[in-house]
Amino acid sequence: MSMSIPLPGLEAVAPAAPARRGPSREELLEGLNEPQRAAVVHEGAPLLVVAGAGSGKTRVLTRRIAWLISERRAHPGSILAITFTNKAAAEMKERVEDLVGKRARIMWVSTFHSACVRILRKEADKLGYKSNFSIYDAADQKRLMTLVCNDLDLDPRRYQPGALLHWVSNQKNELRDPEDATKDARNHLEETYAAAYTAYQRRLREANALDFDDLIMSTVHLFQAFPEVRETYRRRFRHVLIDEYQDTNHAQYALIHQLCADDPEQSDPDAERVEPAELMVVGDADQSIYAFRGANIRNILDFEQDFPNATSILLEQNYRSTQTILTAANSVIGHNKGRKEKRLWSDAGDGERIVGYVADDERDEARFVSEEIDKLTDEGAHRPGDVAVFYRTNAQSRVFEEVFIRTGMPYKVVGGVRFYERREVRDALAYLRMLVNPADQVSLRRILNTPKRGIGDRAVACVNALAERDRITFWEALRRAQDAPGLATRSLTQIQGFVAMVEELQSMVDAGERADVVLETVLARSGYLTWLEESDDPQDETRLENLAELVAVAREFAEDPLAGPSADPTDVEAGIVAPGLADFLERVALVADTDQIPDDDPEDSGVVTLMTLHTAKGLEFPVVFLTGLEDGVFPHARALGDQPELEEERRLAYVGVTRARERLYISRAVVRSAWGAPSHNPGSRFLDELPVDLVDWRRTEAAQTRWSRPDLSGGQRFGEPTAAGRRNFSAAAVRADAAARAKPAREIPSLEPGDRVLHDSFGLGTVVALEGAGEKSVASIDFGSEGVKRLLLRYAPVEKL
């Protein structure tokens, strides 16, 4: 009989007698309001905590976990808590640890993705993966999809990798595998998409890689296909807590369901019935702003139907903002249809009125913001670090930066190009990834000729041809490059040098060398450092610094005994594993960034924070400027004609407003330059949804139109350069044509159907047909997986073999 079996290692560290006396009941409930307490002590049925903005949901989560451990004697290893960021997970863990001590460490507090990776590493073989699989992020996905598009010879104008990936992501979020997608394709477009999905997924598998969406989907599929595995985890996790439930997608919902709902098909009917885990989800439908990424607001709206007997608790008391700000927020969000009524309230008093400003243009708006911050700091009321400026799109940050630089206002833009997205950082990580997982073709090909070592497209094509002929991985083909037909001796020598270097580095990894040491060796041995050092591009200076930073991150990681989301603390504490290179890579793949948000150090006055509204979610600032409140900007133009999208924009506005603690400013520009031409924008409809008496308009449109009326002919004049650009286009085409004609004709290989040829980028091919003669001769050549191409022989870099 299979009783509840803890996972290996659990008993080993289960503290025999926790010496430390836990917190008392009173301590755990101290300072909580009634509904918060109810949520903390709730037992049994699934619980939905509807937590309005600033209502103390993190407190509820941490206290509840502490309560479970210390009052209800739950084993910490039986707790699974899911948050949306690793940062939030780390904070939560720390806070629980403060309450109940070190034993809290063996809880699983992580993101969906980290938790799934942990499960998948253990069970990878069941799905036909190796446990050293790579995790592909957006950039890797794009590279891979681009390869697929070339493979399938898709018209790049009709089928863009980005659009295909978006579609694939949706499929995965809906748990639909390539077969499902193919089966249900309704038209040619969908068939093509499904074919791309199929090929993309095959390539991922060949690379022993999973993308972000796969992490969730594969775990769900694993639990579906292997009931005994599912049961293991169902038995293990007796308490499941999910934060930000409104942002879950269907796949994540399914995963929760597999763990926490009644299991109709328990694998062993004789087994003692496993009671479903106790589930608590926390969220706020009004703050659901990620539908565009697959989040499904229905998950939270339908919770009570999805989980029978569910109860819900409403947290409406806000501990963050003034009543004025909350009334404004309630009023705006009240315009959304079909939402469950919720009214935030505070006993902190009304506070300041909201300040409104209508600017002439975006410059004027930025100037107003800057001056207003100056005033606040001069008065001593606030420091720059208290202030945040929010906007709808990243492009809007530019004017603020320009004006802030000029006025000497210290600021920081959060978002934009991130550390781990920088080219040099990605290169370095690609090296590390291919060392751990040589099948990882995307990483391997990225660094094969970076820095330049004379392994160009042509050599790659030859090796790739060999890989396909012999059905081996690209890496295997590199090792056997001497067998590759058509490979120049020089290229072969280079490849052999590369292979030797990689094998040497791999032996370091196999010996368990620390991540930072491997990284430093990679950078030195590959010639990457020398390459940057010898470059005269001033940007490469920064690149070197970034790499130094990356090494520092790796070192810090290697020295942290509890590092690595994959490293089960259970194992680490038992001395089974130390964090290695693979763990470092996992951290880097799953953790967005080293903290971008400036921390609030009371010692210095800090800097103004600039960010998009999306990034602002979960944060709070004493002073908030909500800018660009114009129809077409915010709400965004693409949402104007669409009710659901408009409601999501409104939730975004709600999120923005509720970030403010004391002072809220709202502003808009009458004229705003949007890519080239200036446009006249009407005020945001959200402005009309604010109670009039709450807003102190410092300047209105009436006041400003009197001075300057937007000049429509001016707009046309601005439009002209575009037309000039169009003319340019044809002139350039003519020039290019002339240049082509002037160029001496290249020698045209005489070909016959059946001839074998080598093409610089398509690799090996067979001539299928010929048309035309002399300079106009065109050959149709079958390049195998690259497809049949029609090539004008005068230009095509083909060589008869």
Partner DNA sequence: ATAGGTTGCATTTTT
Partner DNA sequence: TGCAACCTAT
Active site residue 244: yes
Is 58 one of the annotated binding-site residues? yes
Does an H or E element contain 48, and which?
Answer: strand 47-51
CB nearer DNA, residue 509 or residue 553: 553
How many other CB atoms sit within 10 Å of the CB of residue 457?
A: 14
Under a CB-based contact definition with an 8 Å cutoff, are residues 753 and 769 in contact?
Answer: yes
Question: How far, in whole angstroms, is CA 398 from its chain's centroid?
Answer: 23
For strand 411-413 and strand 608-612, is the pairing parallel, antiparallel, or unpaired?
Answer: parallel
Does an H or E element contain 101, and which?
Answer: none
Binding to DNA, residues 385-404 (CB under 7 A): 392-395
Nearest to 526 by CA among 421, 427, 458: 427
C-alpha–C-alpha distance, residues 314 and 343, integer Å: 10
CA distances from 333 to 55, 612, 649 (A): 16, 19, 10
CB nearer DNA, residue 296 or residue 322: 296
Q: For residue 675, state whether it binds DNA (rule: CB under 7 A).
A: yes
Helix, strand or coil, per DSSP, at residue 622: strand
Q: For residue 640, state whether it binds DNA (rule: CB under 7 A).
A: no
- C-beta of 713: minimal distance to DNA in Å? 17
Q: For residue 582, state whether it binds DNA (rule: CB under 7 A).
A: no
Is 526 one of the annotated binding-site residues? no
CB nearer DNA, residue 2 or residue 192: 192
Is 56 one of the annotated binding-site residues? yes
Q: For residue 292, state whether it binds DNA (rule: CB under 7 A).
A: yes
Helix, strand or coil, per DSSP, at residue 666: strand
Task: Please give the torsion angle defined by the CA atoms of residues 317, 321, 322 and 325, in that order, rounded to the nearest 10 degrees.
Answer: -100
Active site residue 286: no
CB nearer DNA, residue 138 or residue 801: 138
Among residues 57, 479, 663, 685, the one annotated as catalytic is 57
Active site residue 58: yes
Is 283 one of the annotated binding-site residues? no
- C-beta of 628: minimal distance to DNA in Å? 11
Under a CB-based contact definition with an 8 Å cutoff, are residues 207 and 108 in contact?
Answer: no
The binding track of 145-184 with respect to DNA, each residue x by CB under 7 A or -, is -x----------x--x------------------------
How many helical (H) and strand (E) elements, i.e. helices and strands, does the chain have? 32, 21
CA distances from 519 to 524, 546, 567 (A): 9, 13, 20
Binding to DNA, residues 739-768 (CB under 7 A): 739-740, 743
Q: For residue 735, state whether it binds DNA (rule: CB under 7 A).
A: yes
Can you tell me which of 100, 199, 222, 295 binds DNA, judged by CB under 7 A?
295
Q: For residue 679, state whether it binds DNA (rule: CB under 7 A).
A: no
Can you tell me which of 100, 435, 567, 590 binds DNA, judged by CB under 7 A?
590
Which stretch, 35-43, 93-101, 258-266, 290-298, contacts DNA (CB under 7 A)?
290-298
Total of chain residues touching DNA, rule CB under 7 A: 60
C-alpha–C-alpha distance, residues 146 and 441, integer Å: 13
Is 102 one of the annotated binding-site residues? no
C-alpha–C-alpha distance, residues 225 and 525, integer Å: 45
Nearest to 580 by CA among 604, 598, 560, 597: 560
Active site residue 689: no
How many other CB atoms sit within 10 Å of the CB of residue 780?
A: 16
Active site residue 57: yes
Contacts of 785 (CB under 8 A, 6+ apart): 151, 468
C-alpha–C-alpha distance, residues 70 and 93, integer Å: 15
Can you tell me which of 72, 293, 717, 790 binds DNA, judged by CB under 7 A?
293
Q: For residue 456, state whether it binds DNA (rule: CB under 7 A).
A: yes
Is 628 one of the annotated binding-site residues? no
Among residues 58, 182, 266, 596, the one annotated as catalytic is 58
CB nearer DNA, residue 85 or residue 317: 85
Binding residues vs DNA (CB under 7 A): 84-87, 111, 113-114, 137-138, 146, 157, 160, 212, 244, 247, 289-290, 292-293, 295, 392-395, 415, 418, 452, 454, 456-457, 590-593, 611-612, 614-615, 617-618, 636, 638-639, 645, 649, 673, 675-676, 721-722, 725, 728-729, 732-733, 735-736, 739-740, 743
> Residues annotated in the binding site for ATP, as ranges?
51-58
Report, as residue numbers or ranges, the catalytic residues: 57-58, 243-244, 287, 659
